[in-house]
Structure 1
Amino acid sequence: MTRLPDLEEALPTHHGLFYGGKWHSPCQKQYRETFNPGNGSVITSVAQADHEDVDAAVQAAAEAYPAWRAITPTQRAGYLRKAAEVIRKHATELALIDALNTGNPIAEMLSDANVAAANLDYFAGLIPMVKGETIPRENDQFHYTLREPLGVVARIVAYNHPVMFAGGKIAAPLAAGNTVIVKPPEQAPLSCLRLAEILADVFPPGVLSILPGSVPCGQALSTHPLVKKITLIGSVPTGKAIQRSAADTLKPTLFELGGKNALLAFPDADIDRLVDGITRGMNFTWAGQSCGSTSRVFLHESHHDEVVLRVLERIQALYKPGLPTDMATTMGPVISKAAQERVLDFIASGKQEGAHLALGGGIPTGNAAIEGGYFIKPTVFTNVQPHMRIAREEIFGPVMSVFKWKDEEEVLRQRTVGKIDAGFIWVNQVGRHFLGVPFGGYKESGAGREECLEELLSFTQTKSVNISLA
């Protein structure tokens, strides 16, 4: 049994802005309350960076950049591995903070910091791959290339796994020799602040900055001329807004955006494994708040009724809403009151448009411990049709839509993996990530690939050198 630290001792003691190796108060003295989604209570208030704060942080990161890019690959790898070691040491407290601030159950969050540490170790090992090439010469000409870092990189991360994203996504740009500014999710910034505290003495001042804030902070980062690349894990509208803001400075972007993922079951599917995959693939544990949730399930008419019945039984047995900081809790709330209202509106639209509400559909009652929290029962609709809103739009909540099909052409129009228009396809399982295997989406689900060599190289630029031997 994992022993949890005292919550008060785990929480960060700093609530300001971290850059230049120091903590700073926001220039405009703006702070924002951050909540415990499990009961709706205020945890504390956190600084909000505006344009002036962003400029100061970017200047500090730019000043730190020449020395950071100049150190040897072995030295840089050592810094990343030290950061991984520190994060692993504090993994349980970071998980507890995220459980409190995001609502995701602590039992599921325990691995997040270790995933972040694994990313740091992985990219530390890939640093020697940041290298150029020699090109066959032409007569008296000699050519070679160099791979060089970009400069200051900004990474905006999402609220469903803050420390996993913040700790893991600094790895590739730092490994490539860039300095990094992380903007934590405005709804759940506390684990990122604690991350800044524990890594403050690991990296040289200015190499890593943590700037909590909302839209003004993100806008300032995406338009600042010294920020050479900006990335996002977030929604499609936010990605489009950042792309527009970055256009004036021709900033490259890397986006991991939303998804309306499909689980397609063929008539010969193993029913036991299918029921397990459908149940786990929806990510009910963190209330469906995942861009990888398989929220659309296509079942063949030959097994539709049996599978639906078994999935409903399995969901009811496995997912019990409860306090996020309780190790026994198997399902948490959505992130905010606004998110709860948005998801309930989707559920209402599903009913109005004629889908059959097979399970859930409302706020759980009868548990005084979670009153005031932003909970929604695990919800399943059947008889869903493609034109319905719940079938077309990403809900980002615990709502699954089930479709019945009989003709392969009507459900897919193509059969092979090579023709499915998606960035990642799982066959006979759901949702796993593998370091070294490119992760990312097609169409509006994102741009670029992460968790692989391609991510590392995307934080570099190529310089070609010609030497005349005449």
Structure 2
Amino acid sequence: MTTRTDDLLGRIQPTEGGREIFDPATGELVGRAPQASVEDLNDAVARAKTAQPGWAARSNDQRRSLLHAAADAVEAHAEELAQLLSREQGKPLNGPNARFEVGACSAWLRATAEFSLEPEVLVDDTSGRATLHWRPLGVVGAIGPWNWPMMISVWQIAPSLRQGNTVVIKPSGYTPLSVLALVEVLNTVLPENVLIPVPGRGHVGEALSRHPDIDKIMFTGSTATGKSIIKAAADTVKRLTMELGGNDAGIVLADADPKAIAEDLFWGAFINTGQTCAALKRLYVPESIYDQVCSALVEVAEKMPMGPGLDEANVLGPLQNEAQWQIVDRLVTAARDSGARILTGGDPDHSRSGHFYPTTLVADIDPQNPLVVEEQFGPALPIVKYSTVDQAIEWANSLNEGLGSSVWSSDLDRAEEVASQLVAGTTWINKHGAVDPRMPFGGARESGFGLEFGVEGLKEVSQPHIISR
């Protein structure tokens, strides 16, 4: 029987050829993704450049209305988008996963539609008058990741369109169908050539980064790939927003209630089966409550079902690809071999189909162990014991990454005092990874630069223009 997801797939697949995409949970064929060439990219950029002045000429109210219409379209197709996302990316339908991600797409479109950048009077006195205006940049090149392919695409698309830019978007080669389907739905209401996808391999992304008619690159992904994009964009002095890798630290203070925080700690670390840039990647716990926190986390972890995403019972899924599975397995094996204690998990079932890695908690681990200092990006959390808060802060700040961090305490004032000493773009208190479209989000150190979300996010896709008289 043909489903609505099959209908949507039929609209985005090539008539012949293309790259085969397989379900990471079952190995079954999901569909075929078209593969753009550099010539296709050049054509897309030319069309987006031609369409941009007309899009920018529309009023703020018109663009706002179209973003709301785009959100309506996403909601009308929410279930088939979620089903496709689950099959391609692997994340379950339920929990903070596929249906959650599709819902976030419409929520971010609506929130971004309502933000605005009004002209600002800077000087108005006997010396003269100066005003600050925010103009569109032109054509934005968006390069997205495979972990939250739809949601992060909207993070790039929505502010760019809101400010009068057009967008050429290159999805990850691991999850192109999800993004192509999302764009297909959005383009049912958007004007022609305002948003154009160019699915393809890495050379297409590199050509996008170098293209002289791309005015800005927005990228979410690994630090290594981000550095390559920065170099590629340098010759044309492009504006850049780089949301790169994270190895987020969480610090539990001695007054925290282990059982009360355990489930929030778990989801801070294991949302999307740990495949989230701003997930909790290393947890520092004081000696006085170390065993209690470990026990409480094990209790939560062992009741969370993992399996194929289309099974409504599951809330954890597979790793999206074999390469990421190998990284997680290498780091957990190194931790075990070093003498660290595996509290739960750590023993994958090699007879099982799919890229499943069991939910793994690792205790009594050295703070310099590879599982602590390298981003695992999967379902394995190292729990490090500390003696003093100063020691925990030092360890938390010792790495090159600085995307997010968190502090867990019953004393909010004390938690905020500790939070103020952490080097990160965002520090959450008694939660982790709770992004909000109203709150600017970005990284410190090698976790990137530039801000997304809110009015500050609109500024990142705009050219400031001072008029002084």
Does 1:262 find its partner at 2:249? yes
Q: CA deviation at 1:184?
A: 1.3
2: distance between equivalents of 1:396 and 1:280?
Answer: 14
Q: CA deviation at 1:455?
A: 0.6
The verdict on how the C-alpha distance between 1:299 and 1:31 changes in structure 2, with shifts beyond 3 A counting, is same
Q: CA deviation at 1:393?
A: 0.5
Q: Secondary structure at the match of 1:295?
A: strand
Q: Secondary structure at the match of 1:432?
A: coil
Long gaps (5+) in structure 2: 398-416
- 1:349-387, Cα deviation, whole Å (9 max, x unpaired): 212223222221132378xxxx42110001111111122
Residue in structure 2 matched with residue 44 of structure 1 by the alignment: 31
Residue in structure 2 matched with residue 342 of structure 1 by the alignment: 327
The more displaced of 55-64 and 205-214 is: 205-214
Q: How many residues in Structure 1 have an aligned counterpart in Structure 2?
A: 445
Residue in structure 2 matched with residue 167 of structure 1 by the alignment: 154
Residue in structure 2 matched with residue 361 of structure 1 by the alignment: 346
State whether residues 105 and 326 of structure 1, in contact with CA within 8 Å, keep that contact through their aligned partners in structure 2: yes
Does 1:378 find its partner at 2:359? yes
- 1:209-263, Cα deviation, whole Å (9 max, x unpaired): 1111121111011000100000111111111111111111101111111111112
1: distance between equivalents of 2:120 and 2:54?
Answer: 21
Q: CA deviation at 1:134?
A: 5.5
2: distance between equivalents of 1:403 and 1:134?
Answer: 50
Taking the TM superposition and a 5 Å limit, the aligned residue runs for 1:11-410 are: 11-16=9-14, 31-107=18-94, 108-127=97-116, 129-133=117-121, 135-136=123-124, 138=126, 141-283=128-270, 285-318=271-304, 320-364=305-349, 371-410=352-391
Q: CA deviation at 1:277?
A: 2.5
The more displaced of 351-360 and 435-444 is: 351-360
Does 1:424 find its partner at 2:405? no
Q: CA deviation at 1:43?
A: 2.0
State whether residues 143 and 171 of structure 2, in contact with CA within 8 Å, keep that contact through their aligned partners in structure 1: yes
1: distance between equivalents of 2:465 and 2:299?
Answer: 59
Residue in structure 2 matched with residue 20 of structure 1 by the alignment: none
Q: CA deviation at 1:463?
A: 2.2
1: distance between equivalents of 2:41 and 2:191?
Answer: 19
2: distance between equivalents of 1:387 and 1:134?
Answer: 50
The verdict on how the C-alpha distance between 1:30 and 1:456 changes in structure 2, with shifts beyond 3 A counting, is farther
TM-score scaled by length of structure 2: 0.90
The more displaced of 155-164 and 407-416 is: 407-416
Q: Secondary structure at the match of 1:196?
A: helix
Q: CA deviation at 1:459?
A: 0.8
The more displaced of 345-354 and 326-335 is: 345-354
> One-letter code of the match for 1:356?
R
The verdict on how the C-alpha distance between 1:412 and 1:201 changes in structure 2, with shifts beyond 3 A counting, is closer
Q: CA deviation at 1:274?
A: 2.3
State whether residues 88 and 175 of structure 2, in contact with CA within 8 Å, keep that contact through their aligned partners in structure 1: yes
Long gaps (5+) in structure 1: 17-24
Percent identity among equivalent residues?
Answer: 31
Q: Secondary structure at the match of 1:317?
A: coil
Q: CA deviation at 1:396?
A: 0.6
> One-letter code of the match for 1:313?
E
Q: CA deviation at 1:331?
A: 1.1
2: distance between equivalents of 1:44 and 1:96?
Answer: 13
1: distance between equivalents of 2:263 and 2:466?
Answer: 52
State whether residues 157 and 232 of structure 1, in contact with CA within 8 Å, keep that contact through their aligned partners in structure 2: yes
Q: Secondary structure at the match of 2:62?
A: helix
Residue in structure 2 matched with residue 19 of structure 1 by the alignment: none
Q: Secondary structure at the match of 2:85?
A: helix
The verdict on how the C-alpha distance between 1:6 and 1:87 changes in structure 2, with shifts beyond 3 A counting, is closer
> One-letter code of the match for 2:222?
S
Q: CA deviation at 1:267?
A: 1.0
1: distance between equivalents of 2:431 and 2:184?
Answer: 38
1: distance between equivalents of 2:81 and 2:238?
Answer: 32
Q: Secondary structure at the match of 1:40?
A: coil
2: distance between equivalents of 1:5 and 1:32?
Answer: 22
The verdict on how the C-alpha distance between 1:105 and 1:136 changes in structure 2, with shifts beyond 3 A counting, is same
